Amino acid sequence: MAVAEACSCSCSAKLPADGFRRDWTVSEVVALLGRPMNDLIFEAHAIHRQHFDPNRVQLSQLLSIKTGGCPEDCKYCPQSARYDTELKAEKLLEIEAVLAEARAAKANGATRFCMGAAWRSPKERDLDKVCAMVEGVKGLGLETCVTLGMLDAAQARRLKDAGLDYYNHNIDTSPEFYGEIISTRTFADRLDTLGHVRAAGLNVCCGGIVGMGEGREHRAGMLLALANMPQHPESVPINMLVQVEGTPLFGEGALDPFEFVRTVAAARIMMPASLVRLSAGREAMSDELQALCFFAGANSIFYGEKLLTTPNPAEGRDAKLFARLGVEPL
C-alpha cells in the first residue's frame, strides 16, 4: 500500500494513499481508548469537523420485518428461540405493511429505512419478498438497508440488483471475545458475509455492541477489526447492550457511560469519514450523554420509538434534544 502523508490524529503513523490507516495494533487502540478524556474527544471532534458538518445527524428508522424464533444463540438477543424472553415470534411481514411503515418513517424525517429479520440466513423464497420490499422502499425515495443474517455471494448480488443501498452485518465484538457471546457461528463467518456484501457493490453497515462484560482490550479489538478492513464500513453502529430479561446477558454489570463515549470517539478517529451511529441503548441514556457522543463524533441515530423489538426514544424527545443542541437532520 502506498504511503502518502502523516496521520491527522496524534499517532506518528503514515497513511495509505486513500488517506486512512488500516494498520492499527491492539496496543495502539487500547492506548487511544485510555487517553485522558478531554484529549480523546477533542481529537475526535477535530477529525469529525474535517469530514462532516458537526451540527447534522443522520436519521435511520428500523423495522423488524421478521421477529423472533431465531435459531442462533447470541447471548444479547431477545429474538433467539433459545431464551425465554416473552417475545412472540412472528412470520415475515407483508410488503404493504412494510411500505406503510416506510412512508411514515419518511414523513417523520428519516432518510434511511433499515429492515431486520431474525434469521441465521435468508431462504430463497424469503429473499424474493425482501427484494420486493427493497424495491418498494427505494421507490419512496428512502435509502434502503437490510440485515438478514449470513448471505452467500449470489444472495448479496440479488439484493444489490433489487436496489439495496446498505447491508447491516455487525461483527458485534472482538474476534477474541466472540466465542463468549455466540457459539452457533464464528467471527470468520461474519467476515465471509461482509466480503460477499462488498463484492456485490453494496455499502457496508457494520459495528458492534459494548457493555457485554468485555474488557477495554476487546472494545479495542472490535474497533481494530472494523478499521483495518480493506475498506472502512460506510456506517458504523455502536450499540450499548439493551439488557432484556431472559437473555444470558441480562444482569451484566453496566458499562461506565464514559467508556461508551470513548468507544465512539475512537471509532471517529479510526474511521474518519464513516457515519458513526449512536445505536441501541439511547433509551437509557441521558440527553447529556447523547450530546457528548455527538461531540465525540457520532453523527447518526436510530430514529422512531422502537428499535427492532425494544424501545427507543420517542420522536418528540429526539426533536427536543436536537432543538436544544442546534442539531439538524442530515
Binding site for ligand SAM (CB under 6 A): 70, 76-77, 79, 116, 118-119, 147, 149, 169-170, 172, 209, 239, 241-242, 244, 280, 308
309 contact choice in ligand SAM, ligand SF4, ligand DTB, none (CB below 5 to 8 Å, kind-dependent): ligand DTB
Q: Which of 210, 201, 211, 207 is nearest to 276 (CA)?
A: 207
Residue 211 to residues 3, 181, 256, Cα–Cα distance (Å) = 36, 12, 9
121 contact choice in ligand DTB, ligand SAM, ligand SF4, none (CB below 5 to 8 Å, kind-dependent): none
Q: Which three cell numbers stand for residue 119?
A: 434469521
Q: How far apart are CA 296 and CA 32, in angstroms?
A: 13
- Positive/negative CA dihedral, 228, 234, 238, 244: negative
Q: How far apart are CA 319 and CA 85, in angstroms?
A: 31
Smaller CB distance to ligand DTB: residue 30 or 308?
A: 308
Structural contact between residues 148 and 162, judged by C-beta atoms closer than 8 angstroms: no
Selected from 60, 61, 80, 235, the binder of ligand SF4 by CB under 6 A is 80
The strand pair at 14-16 and 3-6 is best described as antiparallel
Structural contact between residues 261 and 42, judged by C-beta atoms closer than 8 angstroms: no
Shortest distance, position 323 Cβ to ligand SF4, whole Å: 34
The piece of 27-35, 70-78, 186-194, 241-249 that touches ligand SF4 (CB under 6 A) is 70-78
Shortest distance, position 169 Cβ to ligand SAM, whole Å: 6
Catalytic (active-site) positions: 70, 74, 77, 114, 145, 205, 277
Q: How far apart are CA 160 and CA 306, in angstroms?
A: 27
Contact map string, positions 206 to 235, toward ligand SF4, x by CB under 6 A: ------------------------------
User: Count of CB atoms within 10 A of residue 99's CB?
Assistant: 18
Region 113-132 residues binding ligand SF4, contact defined as CB under 6 A = 118, 120
Which residue is associated with the grid cell 432543538? 323
Q: How far apart are CA 261 and CA 71, in angstroms?
A: 33
65 contact choice in ligand SF4, ligand DTB, ligand SAM, none (CB below 5 to 8 Å, kind-dependent): none
241 contact choice in ligand SAM, ligand DTB, ligand SF4, none (CB below 5 to 8 Å, kind-dependent): ligand SAM
Q: Does position 193 bind ligand SF4 by CB under 6 A?
A: no
Shortest distance, position 68 Cβ to ligand SF4, whole Å: 8
